[in-house]
Structure 1
Amino acid sequence: MNLSAYLLILVAYLFGSISSAIIFCRLAGLPDPRENGSHNPGATNVLRIGGRISALGVLLFDILKGAVPVLIAFQLGLVPSEIGFIALAACLGHIFPIFFQFRGGKGVATAFGALLPISSLVAGAGLCSWLIVFLLCGYSSLSAVVTGLVMPFYVWWFRPEFTFPVALVCCLLVYRHHDNIQRLWRGQEERIWDKLKLGK
């Protein structure tokens, strides 16, 4: 691994550590997402606590956090293993942000952003999987877990050279949803549209 790859891994982590959910909530006068709703600083929780426009901004920024470092890596001509670890670093930054006491989000949007430059086809397949599960059940967390489980197979089929790093990212995403999995098992997880109806 060359020096530029190491530097870009560091940059990807630091860029990923910018918690857009916390920043957007502060700008919009919304409560801290780490202390309200699901206590997760991500777009879904910002939506839960009433910030629809802010949630969209968070979603777009989190996608960029994954996409930009990977795009730069491709422009520098880095090899797939290096690009994969740069994508992983961006997700780690989002999940364990150094600027916010290492209390970050689940990393789904950032992982999706990192996948876009690797393969828009794979990213599209992942998005379709997420949407199908979400429309069937209404659980954002279950949609993310199912998508995380099937994504390595999509990557293996279309871009096999990226299978290992993407599988690492997906394992991390599923692990970050362990609390949601327990609530789903107990029947205590909240559907997104139920919360939105209550907020009207």
Structure 2
Amino acid sequence: MGTDQIACWAMIVAAYLLGSIPTGLLLGKLCGVDVRREGSGNIGATNLYRTVGRWVGVMTLAGDCLKGAVPVLLASRYCSPPECAAWVGLAAFSGHVFSLFLKFRGGKGVATALGVFLVLSPLAVVCALALFVGLMLVWRYVSLGSIMAAALMPLAVVFLGGGRDLFWVTLIISLVVIVKHHENIRRLVAGTENRFKA
């Protein structure tokens, strides 16, 4: 194994460990709340926003996003081959969704995926965000916007000329995000999903 491969694997491990840090859980506990026992029980920004407060929700979103963006940015600059950055992104996302510190449980991964793709494919993010915002304005369901934006991402990456590794990483992340929203999908179908209130 060459030096470049060792560096890439080291970044993958580091990205997973960084992604595993449960931002929302830690911020909630600083406010005296265990978000796993409040609202939807999810440790992501939406549940923090609803149960702890607007600014804590925003801080959770920013923290989870940075967990994805920072390791990918470092890998893009310092690791070779270029494809390494995509797998580093998958590792950071996996850490958030399957956290080492939460017995391999975690959030749904939307914010961390956003951070990953802001570095790997920002134009695809613009397309997905446009769809997300449009759906939010019409129906006010964060989950619906997240699911549809995730579904769009692999198509956007292909259309914008992303490479093979980026496509597969995007497809894996998108499928995991959608599967992690299975309870939201059930509530959307039943008409009992909570709408977002600013």
Query: If the TM-score is normalised by the length of the shorter chain, which range does it land in?
Result: over 0.9
Which one of the candidate residues 166, 184, 187 is aligned to 1:183? 187
Deviates more, 1:20-29 or 1:8-17: 20-29
Which one of the candidate residues 5, 9, 12 is aligned to 1:9? 12
Structure 1 alignment gaps of length 5 or more? none
Deviates more, 1:17-26 or 1:158-167: 158-167
Partner of 2:123: 121
Shift, 1:77, TM fit: 3.9
- Size of the aligned set, in residue pairs, is 193
Contact 1:81 / 1:165 at 8 angstroms: preserved in 2? no
Shift, 1:80, TM fit: 4.5
CA distance in 2 between counterparts of 1:143 and 1:87 reads 22
Instruction: State the one-letter code of the partner of 2:61.
Output: L
What SS is found at the alignment partner of 1:34? helix
Q: Once the two structures are aligned, what percentage of the paired residues are identical?
A: 37
Which one of the candidate residues 35, 38, 62 is aligned to 2:37? 35
Partner of 1:52: 54
Q: How does 1:48-197 map to 2 (within 5 A)?
A: 48-161=50-163, 162-193=166-197
CA distance in 2 between counterparts of 1:98 and 1:166 reads 22
Structure 2 alignment gaps of length 5 or more? none
Partner of 1:24: 27
CA distance in 2 between counterparts of 1:104 and 1:48 reads 18
Instruction: State the one-letter code of the partner of 1:5.
Output: C
Instruction: State the one-letter code of the partner of 2:67.
Output: K
Shift, 1:92, TM fit: 0.8
Shift, 1:63, TM fit: 0.6
CA distance in 1 between counterparts of 2:104 and 2:37 reads 14
Contact 2:86 / 2:120 at 8 angstroms: preserved in 1? no
Shift, 1:32, TM fit: 1.2
CA distance in 1 between counterparts of 2:82 and 2:181 reads 27
CA distance in 1 between counterparts of 2:31 and 2:161 reads 40
The one-character-per-residue Cα deviations of 1:20-49 (angstroms, maximum 9, x if unpaired) are: 1011111123x2111110111000000111
CA distance in 1 between counterparts of 2:15 and 2:117 reads 14
Contact 2:93 / 2:109 at 8 angstroms: preserved in 1? yes
Contact 1:95 / 1:104 at 8 angstroms: preserved in 2? yes
